[in-house]
Amino acid sequence: MLDRATQQAATDIATLMHDMGKRARKAARRLATLPAAQKNAALKAMAAEVRAARAEILSANAEDIGAMTANGQTEAYLDRGTLTDERVEAIAAGLEAIEALADPVGEVTASWERPNGLRIERVRTPLGVIGVIYESRPNVTADAGALCLKAGNAVILRGGSDTIRSNLAIHAALVRGLAAAGLPEDAIQIVPLADRAAVGEMLKGLDGALDVIVPRGGKSLVARVQSEARVPVFAHLEGLCHLVIDAAADLDMAVSIARNAKMRRTGICGSMETLLVEQAVADTHLVPICAALAEAGCEIRGDAEVCARFPGAVPASEEDWRTEYLDAIVSVRIVDDLDAAIDHIETYGSHHTDGIVTSDQAAAEQFFAQVDSAILTHNASTQFADGGEFGMGAEIGIATGRMHARGPVGVEQLTSFKYRVRGTGQVRA
């Protein structure tokens, strides 16, 4: 049984979170009908306030980093949490980039007329209230807050506790920007506590106040959110991306795309983790591609035939086909044909991004039709799996679910819709 102080603290957190939910819902109602110009004015003011608060933000961040260092965090983790003059400027510039995007709200995405003269329009509306749960990367505070606002949504942010001082400093600047433009300050709220119980409350949906939750972070965070959330989640658990070198693949293109898909950046979700080479081109394509990857610093884990053909390879285990390395490692398998490649992807893949290199249009169309992933690429690097590269301007993440949003989640994906039926007195027979 919990002691009285713990019980009281849990009650306080639940009360706090539910109150945030109510305030977010109220703000969302106002945001839903704001003209684009007013939201843009707020985004511009938010950028100015972030720049003006640079010293304050950096000082808060220095405290965060000091505490993390004292706790013995790794270099990579510290780097993700660290802010500099340049990074604060990048946060402000990011707000301006979101300001520059087209406002999706109010866009008519379909319209048609019925034989009885009714005109029906489907028009974009905000989704409502979005919960964003993220790890210790302070820039997400501004990015996620702004993207939700642009689409007319209220947002409740809950950042990693290791950068809570930085997050609160950035959030304070955002709220000053909201106020300057006459927007409700509750449009962007942040959970002011490091207590994990706050996350638990968000996952339960705050009494219906949260419409969707977006987790931003590593696999364990996403896994927890996906398994516990009682509201819809936009996320991907992992990006176990494949590249198929088809029987009709151009060799130079295959080498170039494989190297880029794996090695451009190994830590992003669109990086290739498994290379599937069809038997027909094993003699000609396998070694040059493996050599190019190895030369770029990549470890090759191959099946028996790959190891026999490419001496630099080490044997892959069954586990390798299920592993998202996020590192300079690739698993390589020779498959009988395209059907076998597709079977492999459907067996081991994560439905994120998968690609094929082929000069055979029919093979590409088969791949497009039969692989059930959010993004499929033909003769292009899997690293194009990105909202910016898609022309969406900014993304809050990439989703692999089949509901509502799939692939890059940008401002359009943060909207819902409604139908407007325009009549001249029609009644139903």
Q: Which residues bind a second copy (CB under 8 A)?
A: 29, 32-33, 106, 112, 114, 118, 120, 123, 125, 127-128, 211-212, 230, 232, 250, 253, 256-257, 259-261, 264, 346, 364, 368-370, 372-381, 383-384, 389-391, 402-404, 406-407, 416-428
Q: What is the nearest approach in angstroms of a second copy to the Cβ of residue 59? A: 35
Cα–Cα distance for residue pair 326/275, rounded to 1 Å: 14
Q: What is the nearest approach in angstroms of a second copy to the Cβ of residue 376? A: 5
Residue 131 near residue 199 (C-beta atoms within 8 A): no
- Which C-beta is closer to a second copy: that of 52 or that of 268? 268
Single-letter amino acid, residue 330? V
- Which C-beta is closer to a second copy: that of 88 or that of 376? 376
Q: What is the DSSP string of 99-115?
A: HHSPP-TT-EEEEEE-T
- Which C-beta is closer to a second copy: that of 192 or that of 232? 232
Tokens standing for residue 299: 């470890």
Which residues make beta-bridge pairs with 110?
122
Contacts of 122 (CB under 8 A, 6+ apart): 108, 109, 110, 111, 417, 418, 419
User: Residue 183, Cβ neighbours under 10 Å: how many?
Assistant: 24
Residue 120 near residue 112 (C-beta atoms within 8 A): yes
Residue 92's φ and ψ, nearest 5 degrees, are -65, -45
Q: What is the nearest approach in angstroms of a second copy to the Cβ of residue 30? A: 10
With CA atoms as reference, report the closest residue to 128 among 208, 198, 200, 225: 208
Q: What is the nearest approach in angstroms of a second copy to the Cβ of residue 92? A: 24
Q: What is the nearest approach in angstroms of a second copy to the Cβ of residue 43? A: 21
Single-letter amino acid, residue 409? V
Q: What is the DSSP string of 396-414?
A: SEEE-SSSS--EEE-TGGG
Q: What is the nearest approach in angstroms of a second copy to the Cβ of residue 263? A: 10
- Which C-beta is closer to a second copy: that of 304 or that of 369? 369
Tokens standing for residue 285: 């394509």
Q: What is the nearest approach in angstroms of a second copy to the Cβ of residue 103? A: 13
Q: What is the nearest approach in angstroms of a second copy to the Cβ of residue 324? A: 19
- Which C-beta is closer to a second copy: that of 315 or that of 423? 423
Tokens standing for residue 422: 């325009």
Tokens 């790794």 identify what position? Answer: 74
Tokens standing for residue 69: 């260092």
- Which C-beta is closer to a second copy: that of 167 or that of 260? 260
Kindly state the DSSP code that residue 123 receives in the 8-state scheme.
E
- Which C-beta is closer to a second copy: that of 308 or that of 421? 421
Residue 370 near residue 349 (C-beta atoms within 8 A): no
Tokens standing for residue 164: 């809570």
Single-letter amino acid, residue 259? R
Rounded to the nearest 10°, the torsion over CA 358, 331, 257, 286 is -60
User: Residue 126, Cβ neighbours under 10 Å: how many?
Assistant: 25
Single-letter amino acid, residue 83? L
Cα–Cα distance for residue pair 15/9, rounded to 1 Å: 10
Q: What is the nearest approach in angstroms of a second copy to the Cβ of residue 363? A: 13
- Which C-beta is closer to a second copy: that of 284 or that of 419? 419
- Which C-beta is closer to a second copy: that of 86 or that of 252? 252
Q: What is the nearest approach in angstroms of a second copy to the Cβ of residue 227? A: 10
